[in-house]
Each structure stands twice: as C-alpha cells, then as structure tokens.
Structure 1
Amino acid sequence: MSRFLNPETMPKPASNYVQLVEITGPGRRLIISGQIGVTPDGQLREGYRAQAEQAWMNALAGLEAGGMGITDIVAIRVYDVAPGDVVAYREIRDQMLQGHAPAATYVMVAGLAHPDFLTEIEIEAFSAI
C-alpha cells in the first residue's frame, strides 16, 4: 500500500507532487529505466515538448507492460538539458499523470546519452499484492 503525504512541517511542493511516499505491506515494485523522446520505431521526436511527451508515453507504456497504472507511480525523476523548460515539463507531467501526484525530482543536467536528447524520465511504481 502506498500513502502520499505533504507534512505541514515541510515546505509546500512547488507544483503537483508530494514530499513523501510511504510504502507498506507486501507488493510489487516496478522501476522503469530512463525514457527518452524516441518512438517505439526508433525515431527521435523534434523539440522539447515532443520529446517530453514521447518520453512520458514510453514510460507509461512500460507501466502498462508491468501490469500497473498511473496511480501506482510513487516516484518520478526527470533530467532535462533545456533551461527554462520546467513550465512545459510541469504541464506535460500533469496532463500525463491525470491528477496523480507522486514524489518527484527535477534535475537540470549538462547532457544526456546523446547530444540531441533533451529530457529523460525515470519512473518507480509500487502495487500492493
């Protein structure tokens, strides 16, 4: 079972995420490797928004393949190379998560595995048995 919390003793989140996720009881943990803006047939999408949307679609496809849903996501980690895209990232994340707010980390990095990659999204999920 997962419990999502924003304790009064911690700063309020800057957007739609929580400060803590508590996981208890038996269950299944799914970790989805960092997903990039490449389509299943290997085409790199062009531009930040297109890459971010595709990375999210890839991550959610992995979630589905693992037999889990959006509300099973307990943590997301995002690595971006494009300064100033945090607003776009938050809009896309909120659309993809449909109101679900897991723990989240957003990191600006100097580069990813290829110079044309603009974002990478990693997801961790938990489902009670």
Structure 2
Amino acid sequence: MLRFIDPDTIARPFSTYSHLVEAPEGCRWLYISGQVGATPDGTILEGFEAQAQQTWSNLLAALRAGGMDVRDIVKINTFLTRRDDITASRLIREVALRGHKPASTLLVVSALAHPSLLIEIEAVAAQPMAAAAPVAARRAARAKPAPKKRAAAQKAGAAKARAGTGRKTSRAAKRKSRGG
C-alpha cells in the first residue's frame, strides 16, 4: 500500500498533492513520458483548458495501458508555458486525480517541444506486487504460446501446405503452377 505523508515540519501543500509518497518494497513501477494536449490522431488542441483535459486523458490512458489506475500515481511533474494557467491547471488536475494526492512539482517553462503546446505532464506510478498479480496473469494469458506449442503449430502448418490444404504455398510450387 502506498503511504502519503505531509510532515508537520514542512508548510502544508499549496494544492492537492503530498510532500512524500512511500512505496513498499517489491512494487511494480511505471514511468510515463510527458503527455501533452494532443488527440490520438496527433491533433494539438487549441486553448489551455482543452489541452489540459486532453493531457490528463492521455496520462490516464497510459496508466490503464500499463495495468494501473490513478491511485497508483506516486509523482507527477507538470510543465506549463504560462503562469496565468496555474489555477486552471490545478482545478483540472483535482478533477482528474479524484481526490488522490501524489507528490507533485509544477514548473513554468519558456517553451515545450512544439510551439503550440501549453502543458505537459509526466508521471511515475507504483503498484504493490499483490495488486499487480492479476495484471501479470492477464498478460500471461495473452502471451504467445510456449516454444513447444509454437513448434507444433509450425509443423502442422507445414504439413497442411505440403498436402495442399493450407494457405501457405512454397515459391517453387507457385513457379510450377505458373509454368516457370
């Protein structure tokens, strides 16, 4: 279980985040590259709010693809290009995080990789191995068959091809059928 800590010896967080997040030994870690306000087809949205909402949507989709959830985020770094967007960024983040309070850094930078980008967020997530077990089981179920099974399937496919019942046909057989 992740532990979220705000020591009394440090000023209270200025927004919805924790000063410290402790992950137990044996966690599965996920590092998410900076996500931006671009739709899946690569279109960069106009306006800060639209970009921020899409950025969070992309980040949450990345978490799901990694078999994790918003509650597994331990650290986020947010990069903005305009100081005036800090308040809106915090409000949109609070909605996206649904009360979760990971460690967080917010920076205002002069520019991002593309001149139209106004926000970028990167994250680190951790999941205790007990919670990760169902994810590992699902991945194993989708994995390729074991080498012996693959070899047997390949032999069966070759036998079908030789018998003329399979879809695979050798180059030599194709040349013969064309008269070459």
Number of equivalences: 129
Identity rate, percent: 48
- 1:62 matched to 2:59? The reply is no
Give the corresponding residue for 2:14: 14
d(CA) in 2 for partners of 1:126 and 1:76?
12
Cα deviation for residue 42 of structure 1 reads 1.1
Instruction: Tell me which stretches of 4 or more aligned residues in structure 1 moved more than 6 Å.
Output: none
Matched, 1:92 2:92: yes
Matching residue of 2:123: 123
Once the two structures are TM-superposed, the CA of residue 73 in structure 1 deviates from its matched residue by 0.4
| One-letter amino acid of the structure 1 residue matched with residue 83 of structure 2 | P
Please tell me the residue identity of whatever aligns with 2:42.
Answer: G
Q: Secondary structure at the match of 1:95?
A: helix
C-alpha contact (below 8 Å) 1:78/1:105 kept by paired residues: yes
Matched residue type, 1:90: R
CA distance in 2, matches of 1:14, 1:83: 15
**2:46 paired residue number:** 46
* Alpha-carbon RMSD: 0.7
Deviation of residue 83 (structure 1)?
2.0
Unaligned runs of 5+ in 2: 130-180
Counterpart residue identity of residue 37, structure 2: G
Q: Secondary structure at the match of 1:84?
A: helix
Q: Taking CA–CA contacts closer than 8 Å with sequence separation of 6 or more, which of the two structures ends up with the larger relative contact order?
A: 1
TM-score, with length taken from structure 2 = 0.70
Q: Give the deviation of 1:4 after TM superposition.
A: 0.5
Q: Decide whether the 8 Å contact of 1:48 with 1:82 is kept in 2.
A: no
**Cα-to-partner distance string for 1:61-98 (whole Å, 9 max, x where unaligned):** 00000000111000000000022111100100000000
Q: Distance in 2 between matches of 1:40 and 1:119?
A: 16
Which residue identity is paired with 2:117?
Answer: F
- Contact 1:21–1:102, Cα closer than 8 Å, also in 2: yes
The C-alpha deviation readout for 1:20-43, integer Å capped at 9, x for no partner, is 011121111001100000000111
State the structure with more CA Rg: 2
Q: Are 2:104 and 1:113 equivalent residues in the alignment?
A: no
Asked if structure 2 preserves the Cα contact closer than 8 Å seen for 1:36 and 1:121, the reply is yes
| Letter in structure 2 aligned against 1:7 | P
Structure 1 equivalent of residue 143 of structure 2: none
Which of the pair is proportionally richer in helix?
Answer: 2
Counterpart of 1:24 in 2: which secondary structure? coil
Q: Tell me how far apart the structure 1 counterparts of residues 81 and 111 of structure 2 sit (CA, whole Å).
A: 6
